[in-house]
Amino acid sequence: MLTEQLRAQLGREVVYTAPEEIGRAAIRYFAQAIGAVDPAYTSGDDPIAPPTMICETNQYANLPADADGYPGHGWHLDVPGARLVRGGNAYEFHQPARASDVLTVTWRLESVTERVTGGGTPMLVVLSTATYRNQRAELLAVNTETLIYLGGGA
Amino acid sequence: MTAVGERLPELRRTITLPDMIAYAGATWDWHRLHYDPDYLAGRGLTRPVVDGQLFGALLAELVRGWAGPGAVLTRLHLRFAALVFAGETIAATGEVVEVDGDTVVLTLKVTVADDGRVAVHPAGATVVLVAP
């Protein structure tokens, strides 16, 4: 599954800068959607966002939705016959994002590894990092994301 | 005084389709997997799939709710083990596994309350507590 074409993409970086600040309304909407009641998300001049919000929203990417309806970052790797599933996320939080922050997010394709599941299905494990900074270049968070391409018609 | 073995109060939530639509809107993520019956049928699925990243948000709230105001969540990791579908009830749980001064390491888990299957595991977090 791991072709030279895929290998050649290692180290690729894409940088997105949000077209606007995160915004109080976006934070309140996210907090409401996850059932969070912490007043820190809605009070004061410049409320903080729930920790994972900036790693979950596609607001900053400002991309059109793809055929699946997804308007976020993707590497669009060509893995014929494979099914893409989410593996997991590891987040480091350095300081809370605030309503007035304008995000710049740097995605980097860190590694692509060929493995076999316990059931014998071949898979490609794609590891990416996203680094989130605000308009003052202050580090807010790092998100290490694992995506899995399951092969063999799984 | 926080000690190894302390369990966090469980966070239980039924995730309805309107909840999922709100989450999709709030995250600018309109992937058809989360609401489109025709798209789902084409993939052998009968019910909309809950966005796995929601569980990261719920685990962060579980930890912050237990740790209290002023505590700082510094790390959170989670691995998706099974799909969760619209209408199912999940239980997010946690336990203290390490205490080093103000820094506490937790192990976390999300299970589906309806049938006990594990949706998120392994998972864990690091939080820095503040003195009361």
Domain limits, chain A:
4-150
Closest residue in chain B to residue A144, using alpha carbons only? B77
**Contact A33/B22, CB-based, under 8 Å?**
yes
Determine whether domain A4-150 maps to CATH 3.10.129.10: yes
Question: Does residue B91 surpass a pLDDT of 70?
Answer: yes
Question: Does residue A73 surpass a pLDDT of 80?
Answer: yes
Q: Residue A102 has what pLDDT?
A: 98
User: What is the percentage of chain B residues whose pLDDT exceeds 70?
Assistant: 99
At residue B79, the 3 state secondary structure works out as strand
**Contact B29/A72, CB-based, under 8 Å?**
yes
- List of chain A residues whose C-beta atoms are within 8 Å of the C-beta of residue B28: 57-59, 61, 71-72
Structural domains in chain B, sorted by start: 11-15+51-128 (3.10.129.10)
Question: Does residue B85 surpass a pLDDT of 70?
Answer: yes
- List of chain A residues whose C-beta atoms are within 8 Å of the C-beta of residue B73: 51, 93
Question: Does residue B10 surpass a pLDDT of 80?
Answer: yes
Max intra-chain CA distance, chain A: 54
**Contact B28/A72, CB-based, under 8 Å?**
yes
- List of chain B residues whose C-beta atoms are within 8 Å of the C-beta of residue A27: none
By C-alpha distance, which of A100, A39, A26, A68 is closest to B22? A26
Q: Cite the beta strand spans of A11-138 per DSSP E.
A: 13-17, 83-93, 104-116, 122-133
Question: Does residue A51 surpass a pLDDT of 80?
Answer: yes
Q: Residue A2 has what pLDDT?
A: 84
State the ipTM, two decimals: 0.96
**Contact A59/B53, CB-based, under 8 Å?**
no
C-alpha gyration radius of chain B = 16
Q: Residue B1 has what pLDDT?
A: 81
Which B residues, 37 through 76, put their C-beta within 8 Å of a C-beta on chain A? 39, 52-54, 56-58, 60-61, 64, 69, 72-76
Can you tell me the mean pLDDT for A78-103? Answer: 95
pLDDT per position as a tens digit, A3-24: 888 888 999 999 999 999 999 9
Paired strand residues for B13: B90
Can you tell me the mean pLDDT for B46-56? Answer: 97
Can you tell me the mean pLDDT for B73-102? Answer: 98
DSSP state of B130: -
Give me the helix-helix angle, A24-33 and B17-26, nearest 10°: 150
Q: Residue A6 has what pLDDT?
A: 87
Can you tell me the mean pLDDT for A28-52? Answer: 97
Return d(Cα B34, Cα A70) in angstroms, integer: 11
Question: Does residue A153 surpass a pLDDT of 60?
Answer: no
Can you tell me the mean pLDDT for B18-39? Answer: 97
Question: Does residue A152 surpass a pLDDT of 80?
Answer: no
**Contact A52/B53, CB-based, under 8 Å?**
yes
**Contact B57/A53, CB-based, under 8 Å?**
yes
Return d(Cα A111, Cα A31) in angstroms, integer: 33
**Contact B29/A68, CB-based, under 8 Å?**
no
Return d(Cα B123, Cα A88) in angstroms, integer: 9
Size of interface A-B (CB pairs under 8 A): 109
Which of B13, B14, B19, B31 is the best residue to mutate to test the A interface, defined by the most A CB atoms within 10 Å of its own CB? B31
**Contact A71/B54, CB-based, under 8 Å?**
no
Q: Residue A17 has what pLDDT?
A: 98
Return d(Cα B10, Cα A66) in angstroms, integer: 37
Closest residue in chain B to residue A146, using alpha carbons only? B79
| Least confident window among A42-56, A113-127, B109-123 | A113-127
Mean pLDDT of chain A: 95
Contact A147, A112 (CB under 8 A): no
At residue A71, the 3 state secondary structure works out as coil
**Contact B30/A70, CB-based, under 8 Å?**
yes
